[in-house]
């Protein structure tokens, strides 16, 4: 048979107008209702006041723990779960009435996750089906939904999961790491979302909405301090400037951790592991008339920290267990320049909304810039086999690499959306995207510096229509035409090696939503999408040609149910799905050849389910649970990829041109956890009429996960568990909270990824952190 040969390796680059007090929605029978926006009962107010309750969704289905905290949530009677409002269709809708598998994380949930100074990868497993990881520290996260993602560590990597912040797509991986602070909510939309949210969304979207200026003075903030000198401070203030016409919101974030990891090779104590992250956002809302609003936003970010700490030969051999070479508090680096990671970014956006009566016109214009670099001791140890010393374990050769980026991105979107509440709702629009960036790879002795340039221009037109064909049945359909072009050229250090790829395709989706009773609904959704062609040029630095992957095309089928039972004290939402991908794009990273190459497999498929639940046992006792199962499979009996330098490969192998390659047909997609599960519980004891004592705990589970395209005994993880505990006092009006917390309470040592081109190197999760936090809101 003819075999596809892939050489692989590893290195590192390492405005909206404020909501009215009432807004219309339709009940399950299509009757228009007015719902109080944020009037709170005594019990819900208690829940709002505590991060623990908000966290009740931290792992299972954050949407439920967020019930009492989310802007746009309808307050129910004492002891009932609250309504969650989402914008999955670019409109405010009840989560229970949206024909898509979606979940949310509230502001308090995110604050709790970040209490110890964590960053965006801490969102992993906090929603069923969502996984996030990074081998670039805090700079370039990789997102996966339902097993679809991209393991490419390069700063030019394309991902099938879009991150959209305040309606602006964060396409490059360095923009995806922009700090999350002063937010209203995070929505996770699972499955293809290309109709309304273009830019490579065959897997889904992580949608981040920040707090906007309002007509009244408001201030909120949080501060936590913990082990290793960890500090996380987050806050925002709204200042009305002209009554009813001009308002400003200023918000910011500061996160710090001191160096806490020793360098056993040099003998330096507390040499690595620290960081300083500063970010800010200024927003100015102008509403000259009731119909017109203009929101200007400027956000900045400055990171000075430590990139991922790679640890040589800590796995196996022959299994995926941590061995005697592993010490969480110590690494053995002879290079890497301190594994420094420094990035800056700024984003400017202007959003205009005009209500014309029959519909609303929206324009969103955004400019983004990102620049910075990451350096690392990639081999994770010292010396080499041909030098006088080496360790820990066998080090074939040293590797010290730095990648840097200079990026400019421009986006423009226009939409016209019909007024809500009618039997037919529609929206049409257009989108333009342009990015231009340089990536420079430096090998410090080897390889020599090489700078490559990537440009990407894309435009799209789209439309969606929903119609209520009866009191119980609603149909939705959408189309999007996208034209995408990418260009690549080497600017210095090698021959130009110019490349160009382009594609134009139609994406579409169709959904039916049926009320089967006042308490339960079912839905079905079919969606097609694609990820545009991609060029990967990092191999130029290692004297190889750039590689290209053609478009991947997905067909997704989903059916689900949404229910609220037992007087709205129980919520059960679930979905099953099946998808097929033609020409799926994969990144062959790692392998003894020290290359990174894009490849298209012939086909791929995935199936599974997501289950989200919440149980309001009593007004003061809430339990949530979430579970997802995901089975993915590469379908290509000719795809052969490079293998590790020292690990134990379990796939069939062949020798091509003198090199051993693994046949990966039937393997799962890389970094696609088979199971994700979580449970949270919060119990409160009222303290008079104004406060309560609470205890909250959350536990997340990640099942079997393979790190690379090939399978081995070493480079995978399974049965990973992390838990947290929070105990404190909160005012029932949400104005103040004081709590003690611990993250990773068992101090679990969980392997999060590996590097295989040199030795059995891996990197691990954050350590246990104890601390205290305070929050206020007025």
Q: What is the pLDDT of residue 422?
A: 85
Q: Please say whether the dihedral angle defined by the alpha carbons of residues 121, 125, 127 and 133, taken in this order, is positive or negative.
A: positive
Q: What is the pLDDT of residue 30?
A: 35
Q: What is the pLDDT of residue 556?
A: 97
- Adjacent-strand bridge partners of 4: 639
Query: Would the pLDDT of 470 be above 60?
Result: yes
What integer best gives the mean pLDDT of the chain?
Answer: 88
Cα angle 759-763-764, degrees, rounded to a multiple of 5: 145
What residues contact 248, with CB distance under 8 A and at least 6 apart? Answer: 213, 238, 239, 241, 282, 283, 284, 285
Element (H, E) at 682: strand 675-687
Instruction: Calculate the CA dihedral of residues 586, 592, 594, 596 and round it to 10 degrees.
Output: 0
What residues contact 726, with CB distance under 8 A and at least 6 apart? Answer: 51, 52, 55, 112, 694, 695, 696, 697, 739, 740, 741
Q: What is the pLDDT of residue 108?
A: 80
Tell me which of 527 and 34 has the higher pLDDT: 527
Q: What is the pTM of this model?
A: 0.89
Q: What is the pLDDT of residue 358?
A: 93
Distances (CA, A) of 17 to 215, 249, 286: 10, 13, 9
Overall average pLDDT of the 454-460 stretch: 97
- 381 Cα distance to chain centroid: 30
CA gap 106, 58 in Å, rounded: 9
CA gap 574, 627 in Å, rounded: 9
CA gap 673, 132 in Å, rounded: 11
**Comparing C-alpha atoms, which of 192, 159, 191 is closest to residue 176?**
159
In 443-595, DSSP assigns E strands to 450-468, 473-492, 499-515, 520-531, 534-536, 547-549, 552-565, 570-582, 585-589
Q: What is the pLDDT of residue 28?
A: 32
Q: What is the pLDDT of residue 27?
A: 38
**Comparing C-alpha atoms, which of 283, 218, 280 is closest to residue 253?**
280
Query: Would the pLDDT of 33 be above 90?
Result: no
**Comparing C-alpha atoms, which of 356, 357, 417 is closest to residue 91?**
417
| 177, two tokens | 């790491």
Overall average pLDDT of the 748-766 stretch: 94
Q: How confident is the model at residue 45 (pLDDT cuts 50, 70, 90)?
A: very low
Query: Would the pLDDT of 188 be above 80?
Result: yes
Query: Would the pLDDT of 42 be above 70?
Result: no
Q: What is the pLDDT of residue 77?
A: 57
Percentage of residues in the chain having pLDDT higher than 90? 77
- 20 Cα distance to chain centroid: 30
Q: What is the pLDDT of residue 698?
A: 87
Query: Would the pLDDT of 413 be above 60?
Result: yes
Q: What is the pLDDT of residue 76?
A: 55
What residues contact 1, with CB distance under 8 A and at least 6 apart? Answer: 637, 638
Q: How confident is the model at residue 199 (pLDDT cuts 50, 70, 90)?
A: confident
Ranked by mean pLDDT, the top range of 17-21, 109-113, 711-715, 722-726 is 711-715
Query: Would the pLDDT of 59 be above 80?
Result: no
240 close to 246: Cβ distance less than 8 angstroms: yes
Query: Would the pLDDT of 474 be above 90?
Result: yes
268 burial type by CB count under 10 A (0-12 exposed, 13-18 middle, 19+ buried): middle
Query: Would the pLDDT of 66 be above 50?
Result: no
**Comparing C-alpha atoms, which of 680, 668, 645 is closest to residue 718?**
668
Overall average pLDDT of the 138-157 stretch: 94
Q: How confident is the model at residue 226 (pLDDT cuts 50, 70, 90)?
A: very high
Q: How confident is the model at residue 64 (pLDDT cuts 50, 70, 90)?
A: very low
Tell me which of 82 and 694 has the higher pLDDT: 694
């Amino acid at each position: 048979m003819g075999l596809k040969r892939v050489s692989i390796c590893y290195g590192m680059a390492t405005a909206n107008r404020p909501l009215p007090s009432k807004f219309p929605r339709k009940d399950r029978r299509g009757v228009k209702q007015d719902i109080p926006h944020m009037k709170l009962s005594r019990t819900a107010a208690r829940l709002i006041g505590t991060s623990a309750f908000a966290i009740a969704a931290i792992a299972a289905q954050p949407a439920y723990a967020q019930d009492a905290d989310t802007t746009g949530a309808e307050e129910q009677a004492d002891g009932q779960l609250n309504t969650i409002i989402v914008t999955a269709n670019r409109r405010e809708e009840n989560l229970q009435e949206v024909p898509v598998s979606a979940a949310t994380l509230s502001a308090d949930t995110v604050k709790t996750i970040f209490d110890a100074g964590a960053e965006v990868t801490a969102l992993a497993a906090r929603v069923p089906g969502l996984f996030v990881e990074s081998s670039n520290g805090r700079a370039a996260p990789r997102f996966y939904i339902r097993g679809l993602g991209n393991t490419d560590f390069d700063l030019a990597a394309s991902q099938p999961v879009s991150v959209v912040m305040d309606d602006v797509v964060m396409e490059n991986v360095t923009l995806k790491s922009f700090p999350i602070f002063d937010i209203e909510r995070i929505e996770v939309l699972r499955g293809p979302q290309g109709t309304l949210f273009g830019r490579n969304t065959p897997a889904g979207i992580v949608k981040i909405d920040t707090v906007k200026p309002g007509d009244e003075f408001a201030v909120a903030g949080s501060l936590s301090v913990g082990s290793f000198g960890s500090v996380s401070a987050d806050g925002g203030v709204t200042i009305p400037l002209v009554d009813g016409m001009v308002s400003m919101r200023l918000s910011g974030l500061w996160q710090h951790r001191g160096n806490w990891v020793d360098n056993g090779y040099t003998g330096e104590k507390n040499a690595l592991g620290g960081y300083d992250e500063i970010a800010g956002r200024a927003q100015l809302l102008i509403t000259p008339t009731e119909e017109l609003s203009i929101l200007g936003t400027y956000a900045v970010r400055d990171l000075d920290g430590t990139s991922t700490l790679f640890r040589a030969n800590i796995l196996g051999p022959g299994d995926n267990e941590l061995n005697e070479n592993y010490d969480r508090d110590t690494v053995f680096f002879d290079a890497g320049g301190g594994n420094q990671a420094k990035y800056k970014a700024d984003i400017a956006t202007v959003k205009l909304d005009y209500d014309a009566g029959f519909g609303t016109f929206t324009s969103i214009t955004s400019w983004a810039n990102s620049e910075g670099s990451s350096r690392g001791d990639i081999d994770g140890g010292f010396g080499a086999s041909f030098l006088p010393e080496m360790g820990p374990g066998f080090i074939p050769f040293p590797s010290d690499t730095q990648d840097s980026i200079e990026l400019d991105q421009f986006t423009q979107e226009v939409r016209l959306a019909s007024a809500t509440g009618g039997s037919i709702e529609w929206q049409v629009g257009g989108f333009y995207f342009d990015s231009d960036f340089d990536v420079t790879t430096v090998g410090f002795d080897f390889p020599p510096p090489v700078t490559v340039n990537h440009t990407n221009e894309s435009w799209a037109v789209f439309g969606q229509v929903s119609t209520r064909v009866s009191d119980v049945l609603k149909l939705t359909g959408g189309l999007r035409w996208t034209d995408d072009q990418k260009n690549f050229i080497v600017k210095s250090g090698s021959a130009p090696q110019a490349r160009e790829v382009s594609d134009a395709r139609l994406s579409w989706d169709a959904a039916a939503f049926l009320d089967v009773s006042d308490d339960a609904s079912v839905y079905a959704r079919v969606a097609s999408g694609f990820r545009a062609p991609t060029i990967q040029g990092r191999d130029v630095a290692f004297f190889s040609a750039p590689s290209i992957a053609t478009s991947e095309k997905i067909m997704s089928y989903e059916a689900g149910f949404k229910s609220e039972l037992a007087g709205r004290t129980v919520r059960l939402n679930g979905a099953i799905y099946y998808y097929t991908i033609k020409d799926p794009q994969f990144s062959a990273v790692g392998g003894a050849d020290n290359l990174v190459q894009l490849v298209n497999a012939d086909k791929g498929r995935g199936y599974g389910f997501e289950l989200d639940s919440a149980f309001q046992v009593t007004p003061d006792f809430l339990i949530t649970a979430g579970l997802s199962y995901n089975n993915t499979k590469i379908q290509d009996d000719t795809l052969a990829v490079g293998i590790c330098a020292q690990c134990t490969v379990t796939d069939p192998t062949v020798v091509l041109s003198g090199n051993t390659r693994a046949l990966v047909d039937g393997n799962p997609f890389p970094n696609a956890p088979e199971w994700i599960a979580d449970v949270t519980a919060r119990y409160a004891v009222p303290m008079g009429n104004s406060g309560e004592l609470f205890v909250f705990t959350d536990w997340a589970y990640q099942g079997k996960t393979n790190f690379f395209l090939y399978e081995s005994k070493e480079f995978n993880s399974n049965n990973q568990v992390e838990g947290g505990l929070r105990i404190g006092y909160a005012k029932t009006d949400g104005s103040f909270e004081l709590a003690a917390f611990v993250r990773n309470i068992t101090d679990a040592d969980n392997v999060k990824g590996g590097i295989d081109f040199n030795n059995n190197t891996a990197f691990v999760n954050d350590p246990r952190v104890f601390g205290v936090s305070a929050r206020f809101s007025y």
